[in-house]
A and B are shown apart, each in its own frame.
Chain A
């Protein structure tokens, strides 16, 4: 492989979006992944595109990301399932009602068009929800993507834009000399590039060590539950005040239950398992929100790893003390804003004026 302008290490939604936008600007790009691309969090997350659960400070970015998702045929693919849906965030107790009012207000201040509505109005929008709710928050800018299609869609788009995809390449060393980076895998294979972007998701802490940067990145295994196909069980995307539930029903009738409930996992050996009381807790919350969900059966449960920095804010931008090295990762609701964050970083790399100060990695370094 010759004359690579930029090597992106990590082919998830952040890395692949960055690569795609760079390639569209004419650069020769290579995406490297230790597995197949988009098989990490990007391929197994709930695919929720909601403002109700997005970190308040990230709302402006999530909104732009949402716009991109609603127009995938323009930059990604015709064949990925994206649906715009109304989003309802529910409160079941007085305490939750207060929490909902407070959080929705803050999110609104950051630009999300969220409004509190009454129980009656909420039931009109979605008659399937539990009629014992106190109130709900409503937002039209909501919906979902079928996350398991991410890999297929990005692979095609990257190939169409002449991006080299190198899979099953586990990076073990990064050498920097003469304005050139040499990326070496566990078997000794080498890739040379002028610039690098570190987008390795939950493996960012490990990869950063290869360039002598030490940042703690926490990994949270989170469970997801999907039912078999069912007749209509809900017609909106459902979340709850404290943020620990997401519910959506795909066109194929399956219902995906998420919400970030923790499981147990080991990033080293890849082993993960659910914590039974969390599995039951998540299911109970879901069935409380949509009572008829009780009639279905769970078809699959799996866990994905979410990466988070110490202050739960993303890291995007230049790497300090290194020339031509960049980073993108640890973005909460990263699936929604990933395509936009990748675009922002690509603009930065191309030399355009982009303000990424909010995400500067130096805040996490001593």
Chain B
């Protein structure tokens, strides 16, 4: 695909909300570019199988069908797609810098929609860095996108609907689930299911998943967490602890998939230095936006789960809403059409909130998970920084996350704190007896992803290097 230098709108993230934003803008005649680091549209939730996989049977997973429609819609509307492009810098104005396997590229636009979704939130425990321990979202991707069962024996742990979803798919594909370890109680599940009734389709789906799990006789440990994991001869040993009576149960398994919900990706919004607000039910730090997903920066809209976790179902609506705000701000649609189109979407989103809140409560991080982190447990995986290192920094006077980072090196590795920022903040706030929001968040930095130097520099002669004034003598 040959790209233009400038677009009317650029959308970063080709998940459900990004795609819907792109389609909405394009239908009004705007020149649109959508960028994604994956090889196809769909984001994480509807992640497409690799291009080399050929569809063979008549039966298709529903997620694959949704993704295929996204791609067809984007093509039919002549939207430029930059797949396999990793955005490494976004500057105000806006300039988007990305790299792919051939080198680097820069695009300009006055309007930017950021729909980069979420990361998985995983609260550390002893041995969580052992190979064989993966995320719940990671196992979803293995199952649905890569059509692979993670292991011969699997234990699932954490909280939230992903636990049930992953268990269901493993069983559906013929795998074995040794146990489900859920921090919530069965009563909390029932409460959430009640709010699900407002979405009958998902309610029935949820019930059918739970039934399959029950009929497959998968042991379910409610009110429990993973105390410890370590490597043994032919797999890993998993210690499950009941939160109430502290009893321990040991299991041997091959793979442990663990996840405690999702947290919005704020890489770009932090880099652009807009304001954020802390909301645990929405996943942690989220950008400060109005109800049409406008940020405080002109031309910048942030939508989808990156604007606050509400899941896949309202994602397209959120993307559409942000696009309408953009169209109105650019005077492409008038007030009447704007109010018409958006009021319906907002009504739907408000109705959906009830369900979203119910599910969000299941992903709420219980204090027990934080208290379960021992002093020697690694929090920052990139730099091997333990809970004790963080506590020492805090006790020596570090007052916020940026200062803790400066003193301990946490968050300085290749992942830039994406994996650990949430837990480090929880641990530090417990120690300081303050609110997590008082610790602020890590300053956003470029590059947004590790940037291969060979791609950055390309082929060059020495005298082609940009000239700068020599330093003074």
Contacts and interface: CB of A to CB of B under 8 A. Distances in A.
Contact of B462 (A93, A152, A243, A298): A93
B466 A281 contact: yes
B219 interface: no
A151 B407 contact: yes
Given A276-B106, A294-B457, A284 B465 contact: yes
Interface string A91-103: 0110000010001
Given A261-B468, A262-B468, A287-B453, A228 B406 contact: no
B64 to A, nearest CB: 32
A10 interface: no
Given A151-B407, A277-B466, A106 B414 contact: no
B406 A152 contact: yes
A151 B403 contact: yes
B413 A228 contact: yes
Interface residues of B, number: 41
B215 interface: no
Given A276-B106, A285-B465, A243 B457 contact: no
Interface in A149-188: 149, 151-152, 155-156, 167
Contacts of B396: 152, 155-156
Contacts, number: 119
A302 B416 CA distance: 12
A242 interface: yes
Given A43-B406, A103-B473, A276-B97, A300 B456 contact: no
Contact of B450 (A151, A284, A299, A312): A299
A281 B416 contact: no
Interface residues of A, number: 53
A148 B406 contact: yes
A296 B447 CA distance: 14
A58 to B, nearest CB: 11
B409 A244 contact: no
A332 B456 contact: no
Nearest to A279: B456
A168 B457 CA distance: 40
Nearest to B406: A148
A80 to B, nearest CB: 11
A289 to B, nearest CB: 10
A285 B402 CA distance: 31
A273 interface: yes
A283 interface: yes
Given A148-B406, A288-B462, A297-B414, A242 B273 contact: no
Nearest to A36: B403
A271 B89 CA distance: 14
A190 interface: no
A152 B407 contact: yes
Interface string B206-242: 0000000000000000000000000000000000000
B151 to A, nearest CB: 29
B91 A273 contact: yes
Contacts of A106: 473
A36 B106 CA distance: 36
Given A103-B473, A284-B465, A298 B456 contact: yes
B93 to A, nearest CB: 9
Interface string B349-374: 00000000000000000000000000
B452 A276 contact: no
Interface string B445-468: 111001111101100101011101
Contacts of B106: 276
Nearest to A243: B471
A56 to B, nearest CB: 6
A148 B409 contact: yes
B413 to A, nearest CB: 7
B165 interface: no
A301 interface: yes
**Which 8 pairs across A and B sit closest by C-beta, in order of nearness?**
A243-B471, A281-B466, A297-B450, A242-B470, A298-B451, A152-B407, A294-B454, A301-B446
Given A151-B403, A284-B466, 8 more contacts: A148-B406, A148-B409, A156-B396, A280-B466, A283-B453, A288-B465, A300-B447, A301-B446
Interface of B: 89, 91-92, 95, 97, 104, 106, 273, 393, 396-397, 399, 402-403, 406-407, 409, 412-414, 416, 445-447, 450-454, 456-457, 460, 462, 464-466, 468, 470-473
